[in-house]
Structure 1
Amino acid sequence: MRDLKHFTEKCKKHEFCHSHLNNSMKLNLFGRLSIAKQLDEGYRIGIRKHNEEVQKNRHILSRIMDCVKFCGAFELALRGHDESENSDNPGIFRGLVDVVASLDSALNEHLESATVFKGTSKTVQNELLDCMLSVVKEQIISEVQSSDFLSIQADETMDISTQTQLVLRYINGANVEERFFEFIPLQSATAESIAVALKERLAAILPGEQKSKLICQAYDGASVMRGAISGVQKRIQDDYPNAHYIHCYAHQLNLIMQQATSHIVKVKNFFSDLGGFAAFFSRSSKRTAVLDETVAHRLPTASNVRWNFRSRAVNTVFEHKDDLIECFGRIRASGSFDDMTSQEAGGHIRLLEDPDFNFFLQLFHRIMPHVDILYAKLQKRNIDSVHINTCIQQFQENIQKIRDSIDAMVVEQRSGSEQPRKRRAMKEDELGRIAAEVCDTILGHTRERFAFKDHLISATLLQSCQFECYVNVFPEVALATTLKAYPMLNGRKLKTELSLIYGTEEFRSCCGAVDLFQLFMENNLSEVFSETKTLLKIIITTPMTTAEAERCFSTLKRVKTFLRNTMTQERLNALAMLSMEKRLITNMIDFNQRVIEKFANLKERRAKFLYK
């Protein structure tokens, strides 16, 4: 072809010629059976019978998969003690298959007559679990690669199993997703070992050209994870420059309360005495019976890690103090307990009547509800730094109100005490000083640990309660810090968009970045505020806690019990995925079909699962 001027006309003419059509037909039939054989009646009947058998086998395999998914979703063991037909303990999976077979005649007939492929063996279970895990991972990776930004949460077990897990956080459509990816076995719990394992997984999730998508990494604050020189966060940031580090705010809240209650001896002794109530009853069922009869409420055990448990202990003792005094009095008066028990019960009565103990009980009864509120908000999946910043400010205001009311609390406690003042009881000014020190410690550590600096200062740009102030004085410093942390943003356009948002009164009612982002999506404002939408995605994708990782470890504890301690890593990951991502699996309409395709192509099988 040399006449390029008339190239289009000659191409159209060539499309209708005999040689082009003949060659196109041969290309489409290349590698297929001849037309004559395809038109043969016997061949068509064989194809139809084959496809009918495939349809039946797929239906049976789909029912067996549903049983596997059910057991995985509720962390139930798949294998039983004896799975023979006459066994009294065939296991949950086999029992569930029998129940489904009683409702499905095709499955019942297959189980009774199958000789080639029955589908209930351990090998088939493992292959199905592997295929399910692979399909879910492919779905998660597909969602991550179609999103604009990604954050990771990682945490490791404290026992000898040295398992690290990886949780991915990203925006899918208008929703915030936190997906469990897998448990990763480690050779050792060193920073190098953890970083290498995380980099291997990230390389599979984010190809080289998408490295800039990783904008955050969140850990629990252990030195091996947060080390600025050789910690995991530094090693990850060397390869992923935009991956800023977040110290889990829920862990920081625990550290704040530990610091406020451990360095003051009187307060430390108070919590030690408070834990003694639960310990007293936990050592004897006979004592517990008296507690249930008198108080009708169990005393929760205190925990240094979960401060909501200490809050329950404070509230329970405060609300049932008179009932507890009566309970200990009954134990002393019954005469059926030994001398040591009676002695301890008398000590607890004197403790509950002590004015100093009652003062600290009342103080922490006022403080703990605010800690609980902030703790509960930090456990949510759809939180963002803008919303948390507002919650932290509210928490500080509430603690400051308690700080200002300490003098009135001391006077009220002393005047309301019916007990004579003891020689060793603390003076009012000393009580006030200690209570003020507790509040000041909480406030000081909150300002220090929850300070929004560096990349987190971007949250202050979209804090709706500050919009009215920003109209008069634009936050130039916060904008400059944000642009330095996230160079992908267009600073000039972002400033213009933010100025318009600050001046529009309707935007001032938004509570958090998620609300503002959903408002943009619902009203087709994404193109108008394109840079603000990108900033919102960054803020929303940035996790403030590793609560999802803690929930995943709770699932690990239920899945890998001492009776199932020999399961392989692949089976463990598959069972954990079925439990933690059951909603994702349910929402995947073609999940069973995709798993069957993988199962059929895994190896050559005597049973037919592929259509012709």
Structure 2
Amino acid sequence: MDDNNVSDHEPIFNSPTTESTRADEEPVFTIDMYDPVNWDNLDNKARDILVEKGPIREENIVFPMDARSRRFAYTHYSRKMSNGEVHDRKCLAFRESSEQLYNDVNGNFLACCEMVAEFDLNELISLMASRITSSIIKIVKETKYFSVILDCTPDVSHQEQMSLLVRCVDMSDEKIKIGEYFLGFMKVDDTSGEGLFNVLVDSIKSFGLNVDDIRGQGYDNGSNMKGKHKGKAISFFGIVQRIYVLFLGSTKRWNVLLEHVPDLTVKSLSNTRWESRIKSVRAIRYQAPQLRSALLWLSEDGDTEPKDRSDAKNLYDVLGSFEFILGMVIWHDILYSVNIVSKKLQSPSMCVDSTLQHIEVMVNYFQNYRNTGFADSVVAATEIALEMGVEALFPVKRRSVRKKQFDETECNEAILQAEKDFETFYFLVMVDMAISSLKSRFKELQSFNEKFGFLMNSTSLKAMDGADLKDHCIKFVKTFSLDGSSNVDINDMISELAVMQSTLPDKPMPVMEIFEFVTEVDCYPNISIAYRILFPMPMTVASAERTFSKLKLLKNYLRSIMSQERLNGLATLCIEKKLLDEIDIEAIINDFAAANVRRNF
């Protein structure tokens, strides 16, 4: 018998989780969770712990006799084999006297197998997913106004899937928060703008939502890096990808990489998210000498295939180019700064005012980097080149000859011209593209600031006079008016803001605190509507992109013919894990039993 099952268990007690308990704290229990008498009162967390640790095996309990004068004996904890060995029976709770299917005394495990065989498991998945979707729809309808986030990708069966999410203010709990919720994957046959619009409208109506309540929409265009200078980026990242592919091609070459590069390993590239390429560049940026020595080893290894030796020699020469080293430093600086802001903007709770602040800081950084970044990058690249034993010089191209003065040297002029060309046609192009991308991608947010800016800061709101307040309210009402009807009454909104100016605390308050104040006092209905229109505005489509990770896990090449209903059910359970933990399991079981009255639960 396994002694660990006896000695490793301490009495653990169960108690309801309080609001003050943090997620990283250990749960506190007040009743013995190992006593079968209390098993009906255990919550989900206690049940998980009980299953993980297993039941306690006590040896000092006298079990009572049953109606047939039988009782449990400790000998059932183990099984003696014919050769004298004793094996522990760890699945005792699932066993019974019969090991045949469709037998009344075949135990819990075989009974579960019978249930799965008799009923469609898809029905249980559908019930749970429907309960989660219903809770999401309830949250959206309570706040009324919402935004939609869309993104498309092909699945393993080459079917275009559109991920649909809604973003709204969650007012169902005491703590108000902004949430982005997954509604499902939609099959798309027509990927044009009209085709996506028709699928969106039909999907929104099928969930019982009103299309007229949509106040924002987010689509993905991250894969479009346009411009005549795109070739520079393709050339650089093409070399980065070639390095990764070379070492990944065999376990021997990968071991050579690990022997020379002990810390960061080379990474593959992402085709759509440019800021994520920092992971690929970082490994080369800080380990270029070690990586070059690994390439040299491969190029001189006689056991390596000739083609791979040739590729290694070619990449070894490329990493020895000062232009590549300098470009590597520049790309690392650009991607690193973009990645920091990108991670912050991907939070579902990010609002317009915070996004504008981060973008403004990012634009200012690149404008300063444009003036001083090239000189700093040359210094950093020179240090790397010296460590690698590479001459820190730009390649000199053939140029037309002109008459020189007595104190001029042709070599210095050519080197300076090569450096100037690199700064003009490479560095400045990359930085200007980054600045332009930031300004153009978030240009619409500036228009939101013009409409909602007076609601985002308590200090500026309290300082407004009556004329400014009226002008802002008129602009807001005109923006959200259609066919003579508006979401708010302009006169009531002006009056409410005038009263709120005198009731707001004197301390500076961010936009979410102002909305919490408005909700708590519950006497500014038009202002509440304005904030419920403001917060759903999507900042990024990162939440839609995250759903594609689940799509690839659920619908892989082994499950390529999975039905759309099952895919959406499983995806909802995986993506909305927090809502899944909150649903009433007993209600799900009752619904499942009511739909399948042939079995008595």
What TM-score do the two structures reach when normalised by structure 2?
0.68
* Percent identity between the two aligned chains: 22
Match of 1:285 in 2: 251
> Is the 1:215–1:538 contact (alpha carbons within 8 Å) kept by the matching residues of 2?
yes
Paired amino acid for 1:431: F
Give distance in 2, aligned partners of 1:329 and 1:423: 25
> Is the 1:410–1:431 contact (alpha carbons within 8 Å) kept by the matching residues of 2?
no
Give distance in 2, aligned partners of 1:494 and 1:449: 32
**SS of residue paired to 1:157:** strand
Change (3 A) 1:122 1:152: farther
Give distance in 1, aligned partners of 2:218 and 2:179: 15
> Is the 1:156–1:165 contact (alpha carbons within 8 Å) kept by the matching residues of 2?
yes
Paired amino acid for 1:580: I
| Residue 118 of structure 1, CA deviation | 4.5
| Residue 410 of structure 1, CA deviation | 6.2
Match of 2:439 in 1: 447
Change (3 A) 1:104 1:303: farther
C-alpha offsets along residues 513-570 of structure 1, whole Å, 9 cap, x if unaligned? 445434555xx3443x544332222121122222222222221211122222333332
Paired amino acid for 1:409: D
Change (3 A) 1:432 1:111: same
Match of 1:170 in 2: 168
| Residue 365 of structure 1, CA deviation | 1.9
Structure 2: any 5+ residue segments left out of the alignment? 1-39, 52-89, 98-102, 398-414, 481-485
Match of 1:125 in 2: 121
Match of 1:586 in 2: 581
Aligned ranges 1:298-313 → 2 under 5 Å: 298-313=265-280
Give distance in 2, aligned partners of 1:502 and 1:351: 67
Change (3 A) 1:299 1:136: same
Match of 1:566 in 2: 561
Match of 1:409 in 2: 376
Give distance in 1, aligned partners of 2:323 and 2:458: 41
Paired amino acid for 1:202: I
Match of 2:487 in 1: 488
Give distance in 1, aligned partners of 2:527 and 2:265: 51
Structure 1: any 5+ residue segments left out of the alignment? 1-58, 71-97, 222-250
**SS of residue paired to 1:541:** coil
Change (3 A) 1:410 1:164: closer
> Is the 1:290–1:327 contact (alpha carbons within 8 Å) kept by the matching residues of 2?
yes
| Residue 299 of structure 1, CA deviation | 0.5
RMSD: 4.0
Match of 1:430 in 2: 421
Give distance in 2, aligned partners of 1:100 and 1:397: 67
| Residue 458 of structure 1, CA deviation | 3.0
> Is the 1:149–1:214 contact (alpha carbons within 8 Å) kept by the matching residues of 2?
yes
Change (3 A) 1:277 1:568: closer
Give distance in 2, aligned partners of 1:370 and 1:479: 37
Aligned ranges 1:518-557 → 2 under 5 Å: 518=516, 520-521=518-519, 524-527=520-523, 529-557=524-552
- Out of 374-383 and 445-454, give the one that drifted further: 445-454
Give distance in 2, aligned partners of 1:354 and 1:475: 61
Match of 2:217 in 1: 217
**SS of residue paired to 2:115:** coil
Paired amino acid for 1:295: V
Match of 2:130 in 1: 134
Aligned ranges 1:83-94 → 2 under 5 Å: none
Aligned ranges 1:198-347 → 2 under 5 Å: 198-206=200-208, 212-221=212-221, 251=222, 255=224, 258-259=225-226, 263=229, 265-296=231-262, 297-347=264-314
Give distance in 2, aligned partners of 1:468 and 1:561: 53
Identify the structure with bigger relative contact order (alpha carbons < 8 Å, sequence gap 6+): 1
Give distance in 2, aligned partners of 1:137 and 1:410: 51
Give distance in 2, aligned partners of 1:470 and 1:103: 75
**SS of residue paired to 1:302:** coil
Paired amino acid for 2:396: R
Aligned ranges 1:436-475 → 2 under 5 Å: 436-451=428-443, 452=445, 454-455=447-448, 457-464=450-457, 467=460, 471=464, 474=468
Paired amino acid for 1:278: Y
In the comparison of the two structures, how many residue pairs are matched? 474
What TM-score do the two structures reach when normalised by structure 1?
0.67
Give distance in 2, aligned partners of 1:496 and 1:370: 44
C-alpha offsets along residues 244-280 of structure 1, whole Å, 9 cap, x if unaligned? xxxxxxx3xx54xx347x6254444333333332122
Change (3 A) 1:333 1:515: farther
